[in-house]
A and B are shown apart, each in its own frame.
Chain A
């Protein structure tokens, strides 16, 4: 049931606009008969009737799809305006993700890396949505969004240095766990572990964009999160604020069926996350997250609506988390291995897009081999370099707690560590060994006079 994928027929409404029109017409019929409640637009009806779904007939919200599992356009589907160069770039980025994931996952298993999360199965959602955004739209992520950064130009070197938290880490300078990327240059706000906190923040950032004459009408804030995070109070707050106050926030939920071990059936009883959008007055679409063209089209249109109306828009991308939750998780403890294998075979976002490209003559077996080899080589080179670079200077531990002048406790505690390092840095083995791993071996602190 989790794998359920509605095959969107061309007869079904693909745009929220059609649904809205139908609702309006139905509402108008009732209204003329018995009038409205004075304080709302609610039409009065003599029928005792409960509602459990946002659709008129009680059916589930349809899933928008452009390419079928074999990469063939659905009948009636309109292909997005993507030329060969763009399509190839999208595919190359999609393929690159699992190559990085494979390596990083394995080196984590070897103990060379503290932690890692893979993106298996969500490549189309990440690259399709990233390609539909403007490069300077503000992005707030959860942690499974490396693809968005890669699309924007974040290099494999950057990625490796950040995961190793070494002295060239461009994101957190070794202060956060691996995968907590963030870079101002690419308008990608630093990831933090607490789930969903970024959702109302994105609404605030979007409001700032709306107030900025240089960016108003040009940019939005896009926020990514999983279907599990959508259970947090901050999801409610973010959706509510973006719609009520009015801020161009693009909510992109990766519904991959699991929050660690918890299946989506234990996360909510309603029709996924998409069904919540209309409750907040937010334009909403559900899209096949394994169809990169559908994701691209949906996000592009969602972005347009969001900026034009200056309010929140919700995109629910239906995917499947093929990999384990993280390197600290063995997902076969709560789901059958066969289910995952089937999923990889039957509904693989990369294979689907490759079939489409090959049918057009935009990609070939030879190119596939060459690209994979090139990527593997680049990834290995970046990995070997990142692995050997020292950690940042120990002094940096105290940097950026506060802006402006450091308060006395920060100053005094930095001096206290300096004194301790002078006294015990050599004598205490755990410190002696650890100091050698840092750039400058702590000399910038040890040399400091008390």
Chain B
């Protein structure tokens, strides 16, 4: 299966990456002009990306790792700098910080030494040496097992699985070994210093094995944590938390955002808390919960709900256009932030969960069940899931597969309209 990965993106990795970037930028740059002349938000224009130094430094939950406990953050913010980064640059920056501050930290995986097929490790081998940033043989179970062994010795192991689609050969090592290492030895040994990074989610043309969102498969493996960032600033802060968390963490990076999401990222070492969701847009009528790339689809959907572009106009009753949607980025899948979601749904009375993975056995079903248990009396409508279908991710049908393909600039096709309508309908059903 890796051979196919290399065919698609790895045989001539840099060129492949350039090809992808060209496509992504093209997609991202499609600032769809609606018939009314408005501009739909997309990843590049998203209001959730922090494009100024000040908003970046004031990102909620940010914790400067050089800050003393008693220090005033106001004072310390004054001297801090930010730099415009895309997501792969922010991830590289996080690993550079981790390697700089921790002599035991190493970065390894397939093709990481020359910079990685997605450039996330560019220059790290030159900066820190091949003993600390190195290629492994092409074996995912080997990468995970080797990383667990290092972590069991207290060394920080930052392993890369080239695509989340190829994490399954390492499933045994992750679920039976990494997750249980601490419990089974009653705390004598543990693999907490282990972080596994892997690109995930759809990229527009990835087919079965370059598109998957396998986060749901890891939900039941008590002992590991799992985080998915939505932007460069998030990626750096959450990855540094993952690397330093005392538990093994799987860090899934939405690969379509590697180049398309650009924002100001603090250059200092900082962390964002694991286990905490972030409310991106407060609202009072419906809670919209997502993570990774679909967060931006949700943003577009919210915009279209308030001012539907021509053609969809008829499908959105005017009474709905003023609906106040609360958008939440879950950020950590395990353990997920039950308090924030419960508080929100208790206020709004409605919950829509959006994820790319198929519905059955996905994360949405788990969250839906828990929320229906905890918010039963406050729910005004059933919890609604907008997800991929229960099929493998299909190559030529991706736009009909993904839960909300509106951002692809294809809003005029009837199928997407149906998808949008699905989202809106759930809001209407509840109203």
Residues of A near any B CB (own CB < 8 A) = 138, 140, 169, 171-173, 175-176, 180, 182-184, 189-190, 192, 194, 197, 199-209, 211-212, 221, 233-234, 236-238, 240-241, 244-245, 396, 399-404, 407-410
Contact = CB atoms under 8 A, between A and B. Distances in A.
- Highest count of chain A CB atoms <10 Å: which of B106, B142, B182, B275: B142
B104 A211 contact: yes
B70 to A, nearest CB: 22
B134 interface: yes
A207 B149 contact: yes
B182 A401 contact: yes
B161 to A, nearest CB: 14
B234 to A, nearest CB: 20
12 contacts: A138-B153, A171-B188, A172-B184, A180-B184, A194-B172, A194-B177, A203-B149, A204-B148, A204-B152, A207-B146, A221-B149, A241-B142
B117 interface: no
Given A182-B188, A183-B188, 7 more contacts: A140-B149, A175-B183, A211-B106, A236-B142, A238-B145, A241-B137, A403-B247
A369 to B, nearest CB: 38
A404 B146 CA distance: 24
Contacts of A206: 149
A245 B134 contact: yes
Contacts of A211: 104, 106, 131, 155
Nearest to B146: A204
A190 to B, nearest CB: 4
A202 B149 contact: yes
A172 B181 CA distance: 10
Given A202-B149, A407-B275, A402 B186 contact: no
A208 B147 CA distance: 10
Given A241-B142, A404-B246, A192 B180 contact: yes
Interface string B114-155: 000000000000000001001011010110111111111111
Contacts of B153: 138, 204-205, 208-209, 212
A234 B146 CA distance: 10
B141 A233 contact: yes
A401 B177 contact: no
Contacts of A403: 182, 190, 192, 245-247
A403 B364 CA distance: 26
A192 B176 contact: yes
Interface string B243-282: 0011100000000000000000000000000010000000
B98 interface: no
Nearest to A244: B137
Nearest to B173: A197
A243 to B, nearest CB: 9
Interface string B180-208: 11111111111010000000000000000
Contacts of A172: 184-186
Interface residues of B, number: 51
B222 interface: yes
Binding site of B, secondary structure by majority: helix, strand, loop or mixed? mixed
Contact of B139 (A180, A183, A237): A237
B218 to A, nearest CB: 14
A434 B192 CA distance: 33
Given A184-B188, A207-B150, A211-B104, A240 B142 contact: yes
A205 B136 contact: no
Nearest to B153: A208
B245 A404 contact: yes
The 7 closest A-B pairs by CB, nearest first: A204-B149, A200-B145, A237-B142, A403-B246, A407-B335, A208-B153, A201-B149
B141 A234 contact: yes
B150 A175 contact: no
Contacts of A140: 149
B311 interface: no
Interface string B199-242: 00000000000000000000000110100000000000000000
B145 A201 contact: yes
Contact of B189 (A182, A236, A401, A408): A182
A182 B149 contact: no
Contacts of A138: 153
A237 B131 CA distance: 19
A299 to B, nearest CB: 20
Contacts of B352: none
B186 A399 contact: yes
- Highest count of chain A CB atoms <10 Å: which of B139, B188, B245, B338: B188
A194 B151 CA distance: 19
Nearest to A206: B149
A194 B150 contact: no
Contacts of A236: 139, 142
A205 B137 contact: no
Contacts of B182: 400-403
Given A203-B146, A206-B149, A245 B335 contact: no
B157 interface: yes
Contact of A190 (B184, B246, B335): B184
Contacts of A189: 152, 185, 189
Contact of B184 (A176, A202, A209, A237): A176
B72 to A, nearest CB: 26
A241 B190 contact: no
A245 B136 CA distance: 7
B247 A408 contact: no
A202 B146 CA distance: 7
Contact of A408 (B183, B184, B338): B338
B392 interface: no
